[in-house]
Structure 1
Amino acid sequence: MKAVFVFVFILLVSACSSTPNRGTNNPTEKVALDNTTAVKNQLMQLHSEWKGTPYRFGGMSKRGVDCSGFVALGFNDKFGIKLPRTTDEQRSVGKSVSKSQLREGDLVFFKTGWSTRHVGIYIGNNQFLHASTSQGVMISSLNNSYWKQKYWLSRRL
């Protein structure tokens, strides 16, 4: 009899509970990638949080991060999207998008050597956010002579 009373009590108490409001004022709410203004804001916040973090091959922290690690950490943190760890794996996610159709949040890939690949996140205005081997986390231009020559492909998640 006591077990039935406890069960009924729990049922009544849980029936009165509610879920927290997940409205736009909730700072933990993740942004949809089709909302370009919100995506740009999240990416600029990501930049301010990571700017200058040194490049470290295999790194996954603010002590040092590589390009694909930065992209994976950023997408998980800002958009709740879990991406594969490596550039090679990341180039297979989403769908192909032409350079002329890029929008905020698209992944941009570069062939920087015979077998070396690099990835960044497009932020609009022909710019992308990435972990540079020479300057750490930074914003670069797709129109920069180096990156323009090395551009390979883009993917939209």
Structure 2
Amino acid sequence: MKLRNVLAGILLGGALAITGIVAPLPGNHEVAQAKWSQSRADHVISVGKRYLGTPYKFGSPSSTTRTFDCSSFVQRVYKVAVNKSLPRTSRAQATVGQTVSKSNLKKGDLIFFKASPTTKSKRITHVAIYAGNNKLLHTYGKPGVTFSTFKGTSWEKRVVTAKRVL
């Protein structure tokens, strides 16, 4: 197989397009793709950690890193870590990516929440990054950018949806 065809296949997400026919690359490409995604997710969390303790301010503009609200934090982290442009608000961010269930969360997934565990409304009011190991990386109120426990807490009871954007 010519190198040009292999490179074209890599650029097309791991599939070779030869005169309209798409075929998977031979070998362990699926394993390599999984490691690549894990690497990106790890980098997202690493970049997010740089901002631990940064104060929360509702409506904080995207242009600053002195303060964040939940969606400007997620927007900044994804742009810096993986050059992924996300919309500005949590509700708009919830329209991007592939929907995943709580039981299939992976590091780097975005989780969207409603205001209260008891409200019937599904109106999204908050977004966090799933950091793995039952932790959320996000910002709110007094702690600012922080890690929070997810399962068995109010956060888990408030989930509206989750999205995979990596």
TM-score by length of 2: 0.68
Indicate the SS of the match to 2:55.
coil
Residue 89 of structure 1: which of 70, 73, 92 is its match? 92
Q: Which sections of structure 2, spanning at least 5 residues, go unmatched?
A: 1-32
Between the two proteins, what is the percent identity of the paired residues?
Answer: 35
Q: CA deviation at 1:130?
A: 0.5
Q: Are residues 1:127 and 2:135 paired?
A: yes
Q: CA deviation at 1:36?
A: 4.6
Q: Give, in whole Å, the separation in 2 of the partners of 1:128 and 1:33.
A: 22
Indicate the SS of the match to 1:52.
coil
Q: Which sections of structure 1, spanning at least 5 residues, go unmatched?
A: 1-31
Q: Give, in whole Å, the separation in 2 of the partners of 1:155 and 1:48.
A: 20
Contact 1:36-1:104 within 8 A present in 2 as well: no
Runs of 4+ in 1 over 2 A off after TM superposition: 32-37, 113-116
Q: CA deviation at 1:41?
A: 3.0
Q: Number of residue pairs matched?
A: 126
When the two chains are superposed, the root-mean-square deviation of aligned CA atoms in Å is: 2.1
Quick check: which has more Rg, 1 or 2?
1
Q: Specify the code of the residue in structure 2 equivalent to 1:118.
A: H
TM-score by length of 1: 0.72
Indicate the SS of the match to 1:35.
helix
State the partner residue of 1:20. Answer: none
Q: CA deviation at 1:152?
A: 1.7
Q: CA deviation at 1:45?
A: 2.1
- Residues 33 and 86 of structure 1: CA distance in aligned 2, closer, same or farther (over 3 Å): farther
Residue 74 of structure 2: which of 71, 95, 98 is its match? 71
| Per-residue deviation, residues 51-93 of structure 1 (Å, max 9, x unmatched) | 0000011113232100000000110000110000001100100
